[in-house]
A and B are shown apart, each in its own frame.
Chain A
């Protein structure tokens, strides 16, 4: 909400804070100021000039030469491009040396051979609006050379107040003044309107239907329109507004249109009540507030033809809708220069009706914005009187008869019971009845003692306050949150257990960070081919679905790093993926971890070449990851569970926990990533993190060996096709209890070996817990191993 500091002080002269102090106070009342704009900034040098003469530019069809009286004592020649400049008119003029709000400094210039000594300005060039159609024309008589900002009262500051959706009362100068004035409502008055004659406007009350000045007005749908006031003014002269009114509107960023429309906008901004003026001649004599019928259409003021849906509330004449209630008027009944008589509407529309209608039409206007949030149901007579007075002051005309006020049902007042002890229980501080009366009374709440709870009558401009807790908030707000002490109270521990998933996540993070991986966070969206759950309203085709795996997103991040010239990349991510649900459930979520890595295993060092990551790094990573995901995890050759399409078929592992495959990894195939020529192999890992957490068996102490071990190395000729895992298992089975550990330590393939075999060297370590082993015992075990290997697997000693 744009607030003019001058306008605000005209309503509440007791506000004496400077604009930035006012902003600070409003922030502490719940209405922070996002921006403070000095409207006169950059306009100090601008003066009012009278154009004496307008001639054609001898060398350019589109330019004119103007002789300008800017109070310098002699006329200045100015070249001007706008077509709306007329001799005898008054315009804002930036003389040579003036700097405009955009930073442009005016210099003496020759334009197409003609001297130009200054510039006639448009509203936009002065930072006063978007209007760039022509030079800003000033109505009335002015002294040439007088200061533009002083003459127009532009020495003003605009505050952009951030109004939360629960506070429609702050969408007007009156409402902001009520909050900000030191004395509250008592300090407020409506500023006098220049030219108003103070004539009293009679308003006659009626129910669902009534008549004013020959116009019958009927509310068909009193749920959507609880109150409707109308008045007929005859003999108005539609034209430009006087400067004071145009200035008021510009000060809050509105563009002046004509005096009648400007008057209704003035009342909207000042009081928060939207009004609409119809051209009575085109409206006819039967005005009806009703629901639109199927197939009806309207051309709204913005020139758009809009089909109406059944259920939308409209204002209609005898034959057709003439306005979308509370949203926008129709073009056909628009007030124009030729309008003589007007029908002025000042109504109350129901928030949800307006909101639904505005949404389905894709329209949001100053009017709908306020009705959606709730307009004060008591405000309409005040606003209508104000608007009639203002229109008569700036456009002339007379009220025909009396205005009419249709109120089919009495609007219920909100009354809330407020318990002092409840105030204390919530706020933690005991407050006296007096303090409550004080803080609430200032903003128009009426508090009455009843012996027990207090009766609080809520003013109509506060539709957000309907319950005791709402009143308690008002009390806290008006006293000031800062006035409440801070004290930590004794607390009871919570019954809620920590989510076990988070603990698993931490263990997984440790696996990767310890191995030099950096954690990534990628967005949850994916293109269609990488997701199975579509968004109904995506931002783009690249992000039209929810991801069903983490791998592709990480590979895209890898490509990004490659594109920046980074060769060594190790990224991991823990995140949610989405798949279609079963039965009632629409979406099934799963938390996963994924990692990509490529490049050198270690940072380059001058002493040696850093080897590149290979298959065995992948396998070890999976082996390390396994225990974090479940007890007894195993890494086995096989197709990875996720993103298998991205990987080379026969170079992968699956990660199993018990019977379940929970993940795996492999080598990213060529073409699955957009790799530069210098890029190395890319390895990908992805696994599911169990939602219920992982029960990790507690380690059990085993005695640390005290006896010496005996080691034996065996070079074994192994037929290709016999997996090492089987050799390992056979050695264990054959060697018996004395075998403590066995591991392969060398692999040789090539010359000197029989066709179809490789040589694998194994180191076996034997140990007995209670004695030193003899060579004979160990030799016997080795013999058993060799026999079983040869018989079972065809593996023999080299």
Chain B
């Protein structure tokens, strides 16, 4: 039993006896409320202590026996005790309502108060992840202009405009000599003109080709270019770097396949396939039954490119690669139509938070 305890003489005047009864009521009531275990018990105690036939009423009924001048002091004490108990009862009742342990009316299955969730575009997320992995492999991110001279976009990259290789790119022109870059590769040449090896860069950026919109084409698209140049780099190193990237990006069981191909600015050139992410290489509709998915074009930097930027092609060897994060995002998230990326429906964008 808690509560305050006071000592009184055994025989008391009526006034003091009433005060003692009030104090007993306070301490016993306080203890009883404190040990109440449910809202219904609190309500029962409220009736027992403060109700019309309760103990406080019982004390007040005896007020009539007191002299008129004695009544205010006892009445005041009775009011104080009533307030104390009443507030204790209220707090106790609230405490049961708060935890809802018995008979509460709060529906806790209602949803909580939310905030808007922001997020990056799925292409950005893929770009960041790819660049992050190459950062671990020693590459830093750089950028370059989107409107390029024909020199940087084609000629410096060993692509003469009167060669059919230039047909591989359907180009937007701003003037006879200025184009919208058809790949991020021109940044290779720009960086090499300014910095001496070792060079290890990745270049994410927007590129342009004169393709009409359909499920797999848009006239703008993103590309990530990579370039490593130093003494002592070899084809073996190149293959290992790309395979390492593929394992870190697609998963440790990913296999990589290099096929000969052609790009004017690499030699030997390769297309790189990874084992299909859906079937694991056994063949499915996503990989057209081949078990492989093409993820990038790559190769050893053509010595002609080194000559164009003033590097000694006998001394330096390099490799370069380029990939399309939108295509990789489409494979990863199983997005069927590239136009969804540029439509920017929030119900689409929200899915990649």
Task: List A residues at the B interface (Cβ < 8 Å).
Answer: 27-30, 32, 164-167, 352, 355-356, 372-373, 425-429, 467, 469-470, 472-473, 476-477, 481-482, 484-489, 491-499, 501-502, 509, 512-525, 533-539, 543, 546, 557, 560-561, 564, 566, 568-571, 575-576, 578, 586-587, 589, 602-603, 605-607
Residue B76 interfacial (CB < 8 Å): no
Q: Do A482 and B119 have beta carbons less than 8 Å apart? A: no
Residue B240 interfacial (CB < 8 Å): yes
Q: Do B343 and A560 have beta carbons less than 8 Å apart? A: yes
- C-alpha gap A522/B342 in the complex (Å): 5
Residue B92 interfacial (CB < 8 Å): no
List residues of chain A with CB within 8 A of the CB of B143.
499, 501-502
Nearest 5 pairs of A and B residues by beta carbon? A516-B116, A428-B234, A30-B260, A428-B236, A513-B118
| Stretch from B11-19, B30-38, B62-70, B159-167 that touches the partner | B159-167
**With contacts A470-B267, A494-B201, A576-B206 known, is A570 near B118, CB below 8 A?**
yes
Q: Do B164 and A517 have beta carbons less than 8 Å apart? A: no
Residue B146 interfacial (CB < 8 Å): yes
**With contacts A533-B174, A589-B145, A589-B146 known, is A523 near B219, CB below 8 A?**
yes
**With contacts A30-B259, A427-B234, A520-B349 known, is A493 near B120, CB below 8 A?**
no
List residues of chain B with CB within 8 A of the CB of A497.
140
Q: Do A494 and B116 have beta carbons less than 8 Å apart? A: no
- C-alpha gap A542/B254 in the complex (Å): 43
Some 22 contacts from A to B, beta carbons below 8 A apart, are A28-B260, A165-B165, A373-B164, A427-B234, A473-B260, A477-B260, A488-B237, A492-B198, A496-B200, A501-B143, A514-B118, A517-B116, A519-B118, A524-B220, A537-B210, A571-B346, A576-B206, A586-B177, A587-B178, A602-B113, A603-B116, A605-B114
Q: Tell which of A485, A498, A522, A561 touches B236, judged by Cβ atoms closer than 8 Å.
A: A485
List residues of chain A with CB within 8 A of the CB of B235.
426-429, 476, 484
Closest to B179 in A: A536
**With contacts A523-B220, A536-B174 known, is A427 near B162, CB below 8 A?**
no
Q: Do B146 and A493 have beta carbons less than 8 Å apart? A: no
**With contacts A524-B220, A557-B344 known, is A164 near B113, CB below 8 A?**
no
Q: Do B268 and A535 have beta carbons less than 8 Å apart? A: no
Q: Do A605 and B345 have beta carbons less than 8 Å apart? A: no
**With contacts A425-B234, A516-B118 known, is A521 near B147, CB below 8 A?**
no
**With contacts A473-B268, A489-B237, A602-B116 known, is A521 near B219, CB below 8 A?**
no
What per-residue 1/0 map shows which CB atoms of B307-351 lie under 8 Å from chain A? 000000000010000000000000000000000011111110110
**With contacts A29-B260, A564-B345, A605-B114 known, is A491 near B200, CB below 8 A?**
yes
Task: List B residues at the A interface (Cβ < 8 Å).
Answer: 110-111, 113-121, 123-124, 137-143, 145-147, 162-165, 167-168, 172-175, 177-178, 180, 191, 195-201, 206, 208, 210, 212, 218-220, 228, 230, 232-237, 239-241, 243-244, 257-262, 267-271, 300, 302-303, 317, 341-347, 349-350
Q: Do A578 and B341 have beta carbons less than 8 Å apart? A: no
Q: Tell which of A469, A496, A535, A536 touches B191, judged by Cβ atoms closer than 8 Å.
A: A496
Q: Tell which of A498, A534, A561 touches B140, judged by Cβ atoms closer than 8 Å.
A: A498
Q: Do B206 and A524 have beta carbons less than 8 Å apart? A: yes
Q: Do B120 and A569 have beta carbons less than 8 Å apart? A: no
Closest to B147 in A: A587
Known A520-B121, A522-B342; further 12 A-B contacts with Cβ < 8 A:
A355-B162, A426-B300, A481-B270, A488-B237, A494-B138, A495-B195, A496-B199, A519-B124, A523-B218, A523-B220, A576-B146, A586-B175
Q: Do A494 and B140 have beta carbons less than 8 Å apart? A: yes
Closest to B236 in A: A428
- C-alpha gap A539/B214 in the complex (Å): 13
Closest to A517 in B: B118
List residues of chain B with CB within 8 A of the CB of A537.
172-173, 210
Q: Do A525 and B302 have beta carbons less than 8 Å apart? A: no
Q: Do B178 and A586 have beta carbons less than 8 Å apart? A: yes
List residues of chain A with CB within 8 A of the CB of B260.
28-30, 473, 476-477, 481
Q: Do B220 and A166 have beta carbons less than 8 Å apart? A: no
Closest to A364 in B: B167
List residues of chain B with CB within 8 A of the CB of A482.
257-258
Q: Do B199 and A489 have beta carbons less than 8 Å apart? A: no
Q: Do A498 and B141 have beta carbons less than 8 Å apart? A: yes
List residues of chain A with CB within 8 A of the CB of B114.
602-603, 605
List residues of chain A with CB within 8 A of the CB of B345.
560-561, 564, 566
List residues of chain A with CB within 8 A of the CB of B219.
523, 525, 539, 543
List residues of chain B with CB within 8 A of the CB of A373.
164
Most B-side CB within 10 Å, residue of A429, A469, A486, A578 = A486
- C-alpha gap A501/B164 in the complex (Å): 36
- C-alpha gap A485/B243 in the complex (Å): 11
- C-alpha gap A557/B340 in the complex (Å): 12
- C-alpha gap A523/B220 in the complex (Å): 6
Q: Tell which of B111, B146, B163, B232 touches A606, judged by Cβ atoms closer than 8 Å.
A: B111
Q: Tell which of A523, A538, A566 touches B346, judged by Cβ atoms closer than 8 Å.
A: A566
Closest to B160 in A: A352
Q: Do A496 and B195 have beta carbons less than 8 Å apart? A: yes
**With contacts A520-B344, A537-B172 known, is A486 near B243, CB below 8 A?**
yes
Q: How far is the CB of A441 from chain B (nearest CB, A)?
A: 18
Q: Tell which of A30, A513, A535, A561 touches B120, judged by Cβ atoms closer than 8 Å.
A: A513
List residues of chain B with CB within 8 A of the CB of A484.
235-236, 239
List residues of chain B with CB within 8 A of the CB of A515.
116, 118
List residues of chain A with CB within 8 A of the CB of B259.
27-28, 30, 32, 481
Q: Do B119 and A513 have beta carbons less than 8 Å apart? A: yes
- C-alpha gap A470/B268 in the complex (Å): 8
- C-alpha gap A32/B165 in the complex (Å): 17
List residues of chain B with CB within 8 A of the CB of A491.
137-138, 198, 200, 228, 230
List residues of chain B with CB within 8 A of the CB of A602.
113-116
List residues of chain A with CB within 8 A of the CB of B317.
425-426
Q: Do A521 and B344 have beta carbons less than 8 Å apart? A: yes
- C-alpha gap A589/B191 in the complex (Å): 18
List residues of chain A with CB within 8 A of the CB of B240.
486-489
- C-alpha gap A765/B152 in the complex (Å): 61
Q: Do B234 and A493 have beta carbons less than 8 Å apart? A: no
List residues of chain B with CB within 8 A of the CB of A29.
260
- C-alpha gap A533/B147 in the complex (Å): 11
- C-alpha gap A543/B210 in the complex (Å): 11
- C-alpha gap A492/B137 in the complex (Å): 11
Q: Do A518 and B198 have beta carbons less than 8 Å apart? A: no
Most A-side CB within 10 Å, residue of B137, B201, B208, B261 = B261
Q: How far is the CB of A243 from chain B (nearest CB, A)?
A: 34
List residues of chain B with CB within 8 A of the CB of A571.
344, 346, 349
Closest to B118 in A: A513
- C-alpha gap A561/B240 in the complex (Å): 45
- C-alpha gap A621/B335 in the complex (Å): 33
- C-alpha gap A560/B342 in the complex (Å): 11
- C-alpha gap A502/B124 in the complex (Å): 12
Closest to A566 in B: B346
- C-alpha gap A32/B268 in the complex (Å): 16
